[in-house]
Structure 1
Amino acid sequence: MKNTRRIMAGLLSGVLAVSGVAQLPAAVAEDSSTGSYDMQIAVKLDGTRKAISPYIYGVNDSFSETGLSKVKVNAVRQGGNRYTGYNWETNYSNAGRDWQNSSDTYLGDVTEGPASNARRLSADCATYGIPYKMTGLQMAGYVSADKNGAVSESEAAPSDRWNKVEFEKGSAFSDEPDLDDGVVYMDEYVNYLVKNLGDSTTATGIQGYNLDNEPVLWSGSHSLLHPNMVSNEELISKTVGLAKAVKKIDPHAETFGPAFWGPLACYQAGNGDSYTDPDWTAVKSQYSWYMDYYLKQMADAEAENGQRLLDVVDVHYYAQDLETADDALQSARSLYDPDYQEDSWLGKYFGGVFPFLTRMQESIDQYYPGTKLALTEYNLENINMDSTLGKVPASAIAEAEALGAFADQGVYLAAYWGKLAECPYVLSAINLYTNYDGAGSAFGNTLVESSSEDLSKAAVFASIQDDQEGTVTTVLSNKSKTDTEKATIQLSGTETDYQSAVVYAVTQDSSDIQILDVQNDVSGNQVTVELPPLSVAQIVIADEKTDVVVPDGPAYTTEKVDYTVSDLPKSQEGYARIPLGDKEYLKEIQLHMQVSSSEGSTWAVGGGALCFQKVTETGTNTPYWGCKNFSYQLNSGTVTVP
Structure 2
Amino acid sequence: MNNLNCFANSLNFGLLPKGLLTLFITILCGVPLPCTAADDLTIYNDAIANGWEDWSWDGVTSSPNTAIKKVGISSLAVKYSSAWQGLSYHHIGTAVNSKNYTAIHFWVYGSSGSGLLQVVIQDKTTSPESTPFYFTPTANKWAQITVPLSKLGNPATIARLSIKDATGTTQPVFYIDDLRLIAKLAMTIDAAANRKPISEQIYGINFYGMDETGEDDGDFMKKVGVTVRRWGGNTTSRYNWKIDATNSGHDWYFENGTSSDIHTPNKAVSRMVGKNSTNKVSTLLTVPMIGFVAKDGKNSSCGFRISKYGPQQEYDNHTGGQPDCGKGIKLDGKPVTDNSHQDTSIPFNPNSIKEWINYLKKQGLGKSGVQFYNLDNEVDGWHITHRDVFPTAIKYDQLRDHTYQYAAAIKSVDPTAKILGPVLTDWSHYWNSAYDLQKNDSKPTNDRNTHGGTPLVAWYLQQMKAYDKKYHKRILDYLDLHFYPHCFYNVNDKCTLTPELPHTQDNPGNAALQALRLRSTRSLWDPTYVGESWVKNVEGGVIKLIPRMKEWVDKNYPGTKLAISEYMWGALGHINGALAQADVLGIFGREGLDLATLWQLRLTSDQPGAFAFRIYRNYNANGGKFGNTSVLASSTDQGKVAIYAAQEGTNGALTLMVINKTATAQSAPITLKNFKPTGVIETWRYGAANLNSIVHPVNLKFTGLQFANSFPANSITLLRIPSKH
Q: Would you say same fold, with TM above 0.5?
A: yes
What is the DSSP-based 3-state SS (H/G/I as helix, E as strand, rest coil) of the residue aligned with 1:77?
A: strand
Q: 2:201 aligns with which of 55, 71, 82?
A: 55
User: What's the counterpart of residue 348 of structure 2?
Assistant: 165
Report SS of the residue matched to 2:668. strand
User: Residue 451 of structure 2 aligns to which amino acid in structure 1?
Assistant: V
How many angstroms apart in 2 are the aligned matches of 1:467 and 1:367?
Answer: 36
Whole-Å Cα distance in 1 between the matches of residues 380 and 445 of structure 2?
12
Q: CA deviation at 1:326?
A: 2.1
Q: Which has the larger radius of gyration?
A: 2
Q: 1:330 is matched with which residue?
A: 519
Kindly report which structure 2 residues correspond to 1:258-297, keeping only aligned pairs within 5 A, or say none.
Answer: 258-270=422-434, 271-272=437-438, 273-274=440-441, 278-285=446-453, 287=454, 289-297=455-463
- Percent identity of the aligned residues? 28
Asked if structure 1 preserves the Cα contact closer than 8 Å seen for 2:422 and 2:479, the reply is yes
Native 8 Å contact 2:611 2:694 kept in 1 = no
Q: In 2, distance between residues paired with 1:117 and 1:531? A: 44
Matched, 1:532 2:532: no
Deviation track 1:100-135 (CA, whole Å, cap 9, x = no partner) reads 111011x34553x221222111222134332x1111
Residues 149 and 159 of structure 1: is their aligned pair in 2 closer, same or farther, counting only changes over 3 Å? same
Inter-CA distance 536–520: structure 2 relative to 1 (3 Å threshold): closer
Which of the residues 458, 463, 477 maps onto 1:311? 477
CA 1:229/1:525 → structure 2, altered by over 3 Å: closer, same or farther? same
For residue 269 of structure 1, report the CA deviation from its aligned partner: 2.3
Residue of structure 2 equivalent to 1:18 = none
1:139-183 per-position Cα deviation (integer Å, ceiling 9, x unaligned): 111111012215143594431531101112xxxxxxxxxxxxxxx
| Distance in 2 separating the partners of 1:62 and 1:543 | 40
2:421 is aligned with 1:253: no
The residue type paired with residue 625 of structure 2 is A
What SS is found at the alignment partner of 2:532? coil
| Aligned residue type for 1:488 | P
Q: Which residue of 2 aligns with 1:439?
A: 622
Q: Select the residue among 352, 357, 361 that pairs with 1:194.
A: 361
Equivalences for 1:554-565 in 2 at 5 Å? none
Q: Structure 2: which amino acid aligns with 1:509? A: A
Whether 1:118 and 2:269 are equivalent positions in the alignment is: yes
SS for the counterpart of 1:430 is helix
User: Could you tell me how far 1:42 is from its partner in structure 2?
Assistant: 0.6
Q: State how far apart, in whole Å, the 2-side matches of 1:422 and 1:268 are.
A: 39
User: Where does residue 41 of structure 1 map in the other structure?
Assistant: 187
How has the CA–CA distance of structure 1 residues 346 and 291 changed in structure 2, closer, same or farther, with 3 Å as cutoff? same
SS in 1 for 2:566: strand
Aligned AA (1:199): G
Other structure's SS at 1:246 match: helix
Distance apart, 1:85 and its partner CA: 1.0
1:231 is aligned to: 395
Higher relative contact order (CA 8 A, sep 6+): 1
* Equivalent residue number for residue 557 of structure 2: 368
Q: 2:530 aligns with which of 327, 332, 341?
A: 341
Measured in 1, the distance between the counterparts of 2:340 and 2:630 equals 50
Deviation of 1:274 (Å): 3.5
Structure 1: how far apart are the matches of 2:249 and 2:405? 25
1:565 alignment counterpart? none
| Rounded Cα–Cα distance in structure 2 between residues aligned with 1:302 and 1:336 | 30
Deviation at 1:404, TM superposition (A): 1.2
Within 1, Cα distance between the matches of 2:687 and 2:393? 45
CA distance in structure 2 between the aligned counterparts of 1:39 and 1:119, rounded to whole angstroms: 51
What does 1:79-228 align with in structure 2 at a 5 Å threshold? 79-105=232-258, 107-108=259-260, 110-111=262-263, 113-130=264-281, 132-150=282-300, 151-153=302-304, 156-159=339-342, 161-168=344-351, 185-200=352-367, 202=368, 205-228=369-392
1:596 aligns to what? none
Aligned counterpart, 2:170: none
Give TM-score scaled by structure 1 length.
Answer: 0.71
The 2-side partners of 1:397 and 1:127 are apart by 31
| Counterpart code for 2:187 | I
Q: 8 Å contact 2:287–2:375 — kept in the other structure?
A: yes
Residue 333 of structure 1 deviates from its aligned partner by 1.2
Would the aligned equivalents of 1:194 and 1:250 in 2 still touch at CA under 8 Å?
no
Equivalent pair of 1:142/1:157 in contact (CA under 8 Å): no
Using the alignment, how far apart are the partners of 1:423 and 1:83 within structure 2?
28
Count of residues paired in the alignment: 477
- Residue 493 of structure 1 aligns with an amino acid whose one-letter code is N
Q: 1:269 to 1:512 in 2, by over 3 A?
A: farther
Query: 1:59-107 CA distances to partner (integer Å, 9 max, x unpaired)?
Result: 00144253552321110011100101110110111001100111011x3
CA drift of 1:342 comes to 2.8
Residue 459 of structure 1 aligns to a residue whose secondary structure is: strand
1:355 and 2:544 equivalent? yes
- The 1:518/1:339 distance shift into structure 2, 3 A limit, reads farther
Q: 1:497 to 1:216 in 2, by over 3 A?
A: closer
How far apart are the structure 2 equivalents of 1:206 and 1:240?
Answer: 20
Change (3 A) 1:87 1:353: farther
Structure 1 residue 438: Cα displacement: 0.5
* Contact 2:677–2:721, Cα closer than 8 Å, also in 1: no
Q: Single out whichever of 504-513 and 425-434 deviates more from structure 2.
A: 504-513
Distance 1:245 1:119, change over 3 A: same
- C-alpha spacing 1:510/1:225, structure 2 compared with 1 (3 Å): farther
Pairs within 5 Å for 1:438-517: 438-466=621-649, 468-469=651-652, 471-481=653-663, 483-494=664-675, 496-515=676-695, 517=697
* Structure 2 SS opposite 1:536: strand
Contact 1:135–1:209 at 8 Å: present in 2 too? yes
Match of 1:593 in 2: none
Q: What letter matches 2:430 in structure 1?
A: C
Secondary structure of 1:518's aligned partner: coil
One-letter amino acid of the counterpart of residue 446, structure 1? T
When structure 1 is superposed on structure 2, of 251-260 and 349-358 the one drifting more is 349-358
Deviates more, 1:422-431 or 1:64-73: 64-73
Q: Which residue of the partner structure matches residue 596 of structure 2?
A: 414
SS of equivalent to 1:406: helix
Contact 1:446 1:466 in 2 (8 A): yes
Distance 1:510 1:161, change over 3 A: same
**What TM-score do the two structures reach when normalised by structure 2?**
0.63
Shift of 1:312: 0.8
RMSD over equivalenced CA pairs, Å: 2.3
- On the 8 A contact 1:40/1:488 being kept in 2, the answer is yes
